[in-house]
Each structure stands twice: as C-alpha cells, then as structure tokens.
Amino acid sequence: MPDVKAQDWIGRIKKGESDATAALLVTLFSNVKSLTVSTCDDISGSLLFRTLEKMALSVAKHNSRALGAFRELSEIEIRGAKEHTRGPGRYGTYGDGELIAVFMMLPSVRVIKGYRVIWFGSGWPYEPVTSSVKEISLESSQIDSKLMMECLKGSERLERFTYNQDSVLYSVATWEPRLIVKALRKYAGKSLVHLELTGDDSGLPSRPADDEPFIGTLRSFQVLRSIRLMTMMLFKLVDGDDIDEDVDMIQSALKNRGEPHSLVELRRLVDFLPLSAEKLELVGGISDEEAQDIFADLPELKGERVPILGDIVLEDSDPLERDTKDLCKKAGIRLKSTKRVVNRYQRIYAVTKPEPQVLLER
C-alpha cells in the first residue's frame, strides 16, 4: 500500500477526507470487476492515485503479495466533471489521464472508457507491457498524441478505438492524428475492427492550420470494418517544392471549410480505405468538388480495392450534385448526407440508394 503511516491514514479518514476514504475502500474490494473513478482535479499525487497505482503495478508484475487486488477488474471508466455553460465561457474539470497508463498494464482489463480526460506533459512513466485491452473509448478528452502512442504499444488485442478531441483546450496538448493512426497500424493492425478519430466541432476548424492533418493510409489494416473520421484527415498539404505561396497562404487555405484549394490534395477512398471497410463516416464540411475527388474511380475500382464497402455518411456536408452522388450509386454504395440546421439536434437527411445489382443468367 502507499507509503502512508496507518495512523495518518486513519486521521485523514476521521477528518472526512474523501481521498483517504476512497483509497481505503479500494483496498477492501479487491475482486471488483468494474471501477469508475470520477475526479475533480489532478489526482496524480493523491493518496487514491498512489493506492490505485501500487495495486495495479503489483498485479501487473505478478506480485504474490497483491492479495487478489484487481485480478478480476475488466472495465475501468475515468470521468471528469461535466462542464458548465452558464456565464462567460465554458469550464469544467477533467479526469487524470495517467490512470489510463496504470490500468493498461493490468492483464484482466478489457475496456477503458473516459470522459473529459486530460493528460499531457511528462513522458510515459512505466515499463512497456503487452496489453489485453480490447476497447478504448475517450470522449471530449485532451491527451497528448505522443502519450497516446505509448498507451497503444503492445495493444495487439485492441478491437475498438474511439477518441474525441476536446476543442476547449485545443492548444494545450499536441493533436496529431497521424501519430495515433501510426501506432494503431503498428500494434493493432491485425485486430482493430472499429476506428473513430474526431474532434469536438465547437470552434474546431475542419482542417487545423498548425498540424499536418493527413493521416496516411488505412490500407494495411486487416479487419477494420467501421471508420469514423474528420473530413480534414483526408487532406494533405501539397509538397512545398511545388508551390511558391508563403506559409500564411497555406494556413489560410487550410482554414477554409469545404472550399477546394490548389494547396491541398485529397486521397481517393480507393487508395485510402482497407479491403475490409464496410462503412465510412466523415465529419465536417465537404464541397461537391472535394467529394468528386474522394469518390473518384469508385465505380471502376470498388471490386478490387473496397469490395464490401456499403455505406458512406457525410455529416454537415454541403448538398452534392447528382453526378457526384451517382459515383456512389453506380458503385453500389448507399450515400447519406446530413446538414446541421439552427437547432443543433435537428438534421436534414438526404439518402442516395445504390443501384440494384442485376444478375445475368447464362
């Protein structure tokens, strides 16, 4: 247990310190299967954190004195407090992301969930281990991409990965989707079934100016079926040798929502998606011309490149021309586009159904 004298611990409990009480309760329920840690500030130096950390490390290192602590724990949830919208600005508290590192090490843990989790700054604090985690879902969170890469090392059983970047603290932690995808491709390329990588759309530009938004290719994923990304992740800056505009011009171009520009290029879906892809969702504005670019050659190459792709959803998209929608229709893909209206929860849907497949008898 933490290096705290028993009398000091008892004294803290008698004073009504919730941190000390929670730490004691955790030690008593050693066979817990599901654990939720709700934090209101940085707990990394607290008694509760040190207790959780020591128990988890003992199990991870197969310490015989761990007394069964956390040996059956399969799901962990880390939650920050909800944000308040009254008054000027938005504010709230965040869960401590270092807990992710702690519980990634436990051989029994299969699911890690988080809401308003923040983690940036210092490097990975523990030795690398092979993780048994199958699902990671982090909503409205802020985790440095390099730390996320470390989290994903050894995640060879990971099947579902969801990460939603919180735009409120957008400039605090490094937001580099390319690094996250690179780690997933290396460690979970044979296991990942669902990938969701997006940012909170409140104030977040569809193509950030400060970071390289292009995430490479998903072609090497072997069983990836469901994909949800921000539209900007299909864009890339043209090589600087090919243009003579200055950096300000490039950044200005990337801030344009849904407007085509010669300084960016797009990936065709047939060059980007894996063979196993069944459904693609793109979040953020896209113009008709841009849609034509990403749908290019779908009718001709679908059977070879994306044979089981059946659904494409464009969220908050501009209306598309018939010729553009026909590219999906002819490829046998159901296209759904949504448009945000005044009430953010109300949407207008337009669905393009694929052409029926005709079987010819010989």
What does the block give as tokens for 339? 């448009």
Q: Is 66 helix (H, G, I), strand (E, B) or coil?
A: helix
% of the chain exceeding 90 in pLDDT: 31
Angstrom CA distances, 336 to 1, 260, 273, 287, stand at: 54, 21, 18, 15
| Overall average pLDDT of the 142-160 stretch | 89
Residue 89, both tokens: 């600005």
Q: Residue 281's pLDDT band (boundaries 50, 70, 90)?
A: very high
Q: Pseudo-torsion of CA 63, 68, 73, 77, nearest 10°?
A: -80
C-alpha span between 98 and 47 (Å, rounded): 14
Distance, CA of 333 to CA of 335 (rounded, Å): 6
The pLDDT value recorded for residue 204 is: 42
Other CB atoms within 10 A of residue 222 CB: 12
Q: What is the pLDDT of residues 160-188, one digit of tens each?
A: 999 998 866 545 566 788 889 999 999 99
Asked if 212 and 236 touch (Cβ cutoff 8 Å), the reply is: yes
Residue among 162, 113, 112 nearest 132 (CA): 112
Q: What's residue 199's pLDDT?
A: 81
Domain ranges in the chain are 97-352
Q: Given this structure, which CATH class describes domain 97-352?
A: alpha beta
Q: Which tokens is 195 given? A: 């990938």
15 DSSP 8-state letter: T
d(CA 196, CA 281): 9
